[in-house]
Structure 1
């Protein structure tokens, strides 16, 4: 009989297993990072295709990106491709968008917001000649906040209150106690310019009148790295990330909703699907909404911090009404990204965030991706989506009744302003309401951006990237640190590098392979 020393192949060392709940950008980025750290990763997605909020709808020859359309900080994507020995440009063609946004005020005047310093100074001088110097000071403040809030703190884990205490002096020095609106008001006087410098916080679910001024870093982030669009749509990035995961030996399973996170000996050890199937793992990462994760996926008996009462009392971002539509004609004068403001700014935001009232007026974000990539519509046509910030489900709006009248009101407004004759040109239509955010995307209260990014719900005060409840459970995505937006959710996955053990270490200490090639994590 041969002995191992006489030439029998040695058994392959066990490989640590990871389960990622949800295939949004945070979950896909987490999977790539875990794969690079020695894990065999299974991503479980409840929808029939990957992407989460980055899902792609294809209808009547039109391609509609469901969610993220503003791509900043492309280096965060490049880093993921680099972990797999590839280049982002090998798989995804990112194109710069100029202007970043065209802001249209209710009186019909416009402001082209771009990354060109000279063009921006000229636009500010045209709009508010007395505020040019103040605008420059605002940009300097934005850069200072970026260097601390993003470069130093965006990818670190706030696990102890002392972590927060260490950064408080810097936050105080940078006036993080101010709101976004307050910091803009400190530097510029013109009301329209104040709006131009503050609407970006709404893109990450924050009310500029209550969101910490730390989010003013977005202005410098966009200035430094630009605003981009992926040819083929944002879904091209989703497809590229799925390809990276599969290239690492991982897999993405769709139509596989998770019902429960399994816990053994105080540690996450896998998940149970709605079908009853159990997928065991050494670590579990949830890219599901953090409130949803704790309220619906982790049983109450395992929760001491994020109890149902605490989850209910937290403040949540606004929701969105999104109308995807295709037109039989093109609108070549419409920019790729347009912010169309209504007659009210602060009053409308009070209705949305504070009074939880669905107002008759609205401000809109209009996305026309065919301005950059005509292939997303049939020849001679245009693809659009328009979103309107609205209150989350605490408003008590019955969207089964209100969706169509609200859509019609938006169509009328667009027809009178940016898209003449729109109501007669639409040939494809699809809607997403706050109810859909809850029912389809498992967002607590239908909030589109998870917890509202106020100071008392930032950094250490947010649900931690390493769960406070059970061992070997980790969170990524908008509801954990650092927050919403593509840079935020991609950065939340970067945090895992610091808090998740390397796969080789975990395999050596915890893994016991089972016959299906999965693994059951056990305590050491």
Structure 2
């Protein structure tokens, strides 16, 4: 969806004496960073290669159908509300958030359904229905989830890790929590039923992680959802993007589209600005990259200016899975289909190993099915539905030719949905659009086409991720899924909050560039 920039603010910045911050990319991390820097007295220019904002949260419109390309789940809405408060506004003036109930409906391959209700007693009843003997274990797991939330989110998400000494200070807490365990390992400590183990361990897939390898700290997501709920923004996630763009422009700052960055300009070890692919050079006092962290270093920072994030280290790091996403609109409505569905395939651990370890495109799959028109019918023409079906797949290290495999894979998904939740789907599709890991690489500049950047394993967390303040280049900062604290809307927004601790106050850098 193309958004027309405010040209009045674009052309008045030249006589603006505030120190200048350039933000590369207009994903949620970049937009949040721009707002925070603007609130701290910086003149901000956001540079976006595409024709509209959002990054992974770009919006597609086809024949009256509106598709959120990326994030669809809003948890921890307070991290967004704070951005409006920084601009002297209230988020509810611009955004209508609706709570989801159930959060998700999880459908097993045999047709059984687990409803992940907003009310915890209703969830406990679901647990009792599946496995009465696991009810006490579920309560214990939720206590463990809360403990991980207090340390992993309340304690660490907004804190910079500028050195290994910063990491050493949190090691005792991580040891106490058993962070060496995987998410699935912590769930299995408390839960015996294999179906409930899947229900309580799938969350890492929402942030690019393998439940069998992702540190158990990510079990915090269960408590995060329980405490703050799961929400949907009316009009789609794109309405949040539009609202954030409005805040930036209200600060007198600028978003430029069709402005792809070719190089971060480094002089004397300090970021001095950027060069666009058009050849234009833009000077800056600070540079913030919301681009994929691996691509930021590999493609934008000259190799001679990197000692930590060398090409070799980037290549040897582990990356999240890829994503295959089919966006489609139907000529009819499927009234019984919930807003969020998780459709689990016949295999769980084996499928995840195919995706993350063996890196092969399996014949079976699991899906996240999003039907926003359950909550907001305006996202499709009258009497129609908007959907997207997301399937985790290997990233581009796999030997998969998506030019030839995309359509057969889409047809398999279509046939499966027709047989289960969406009868006669083959004859009801009005519009269709597919993206594969190649889209993430070619359009979103994501290294190896990974859907969420670096994989969130323990040795790639906190101080071991690319830091919010670059280890290699002074006055270069990183936000987004590939830096601390990680992927997911709360994590990405929190990465911008870390900038308050590591970017110098505007008065300290005034006149440097």
Deviant stretches of 4+, over 6 Å: none
Q: 1:394 pairs with 384, 394, 397, which one?
A: 397
Once residues 170 and 316 of structure 1 are traced to their aligned partners in structure 2, the CA distance between those partners, rounded to angstroms, is 26
Residue 452 of structure 1 is matched in structure 2 by 455
Q: Is the contact made by 1:322 and 1:385 (CA closer than 8 Å) also made in structure 2?
A: yes
TM-score, reference length from structure 2 = 0.97
CA offset digits 1:60-102 (Å, max 9, x no partner): 1100000000110000000000000000001111111110000
**Separation in structure 2 between the aligned mates of residue 501 and residue 284 of structure 1, nearest angstrom:** 12
Find 1:475's aligned residue among 455, 475, 478: 478
Does residue 431 of the first structure (1) align with residue 434 of the second (2)?
yes
Please state whether the residue corresponding to 1:15 is helix, strand or coil.
coil
Distance in 2 (alpha carbons) for counterparts of 1:440 and 1:14: 34
Question: Which has more radius of gyration?
Answer: 1
User: Is the counterpart of residue 461 in structure 1 residue 461 in structure 2?
Assistant: no
How far apart in 2 are the matches of 1:266 and 1:249? 30
Aligned 8 A contact 1:340 1:366 in 2? yes
Per-residue deviation, 1:396: 2.0
Are residues 1:319 and 2:322 paired? yes
CA contact (8 A) 1:24 1:287 kept: yes
Match of 2:230 among 217, 224, 227: 227
**Alpha-carbon distance between aligned partners in 1 of 2:433 and 2:59, rounded to the nearest angstrom:** 12
Secondary structure of residue in 2 paired with 1:276: coil
1:81 and 2:84 matched: yes
* CA RMSD in angstroms, aligned pairs only: 0.8
Structure 1: gaps of 5 or more residues: 1-11, 512-520
Distance across 2 between alignment mates of 1:279 and 1:115: 48
Within the alignment, does 1:143 sit opposite 2:116 as a pair? no
1:285 is displaced (CA, Å) by 0.1
Q: Secondary structure at the match of 1:394?
A: coil
Cα contact 1:319–1:434 (8 A) shared by 2: yes
Q: Name the structure 2 match of 1:132.
A: 135
CA contact (8 A) 1:115 1:224 kept: no
Partner secondary structure for residue 353 of structure 1: helix
8 Å contact kept, 2:100–2:118: no
C-alpha displacement of 1:490? 0.4
- Equivalence for 1:24: 27
- In structure 2, the CA distance between the partners of 1:302 and 1:147, relative to structure 1 (3 Å rule), is same
State the 1:14 CA deviation.
3.0
Q: Give the equivalent residue in structure 2 for 1:415.
A: 418
Separation of aligned partners in 1, 2:98 and 2:311: 44
**2:320 pairs with 1:334:** no
Deviation at 1:115, TM superposition (A): 2.4
Asked if the contact 1:20–1:41 (Cα under 8 Å) also holds between the matched residues in 2, the reply is: yes
Q: Is the 8 A contact 1:96 1:228 kept in 2?
A: yes
CA-CA distance at 1:13 after TM superposition: 8.7
Match of 1:382 in 2: 385
**SS of residue in 2 equivalent to 1:144:** helix
Whole-Å separation in 1 of the counterparts to 2:358 and 2:413: 21
Distance 1:15 1:60 in 2: 43
**Quick one: distance in 2 between partners of 1:272 and 1:281?**
11
Per the alignment, residue 4 of structure 2 pairs with none
Separation in structure 2 between the aligned mates of residue 494 and residue 128 of structure 1, nearest angstrom? 42
2:287 paired residue number = 284
Q: Where does residue 37 of structure 1 map in the other structure?
A: 40
- Tell me the residue number matched to 1:275: 278
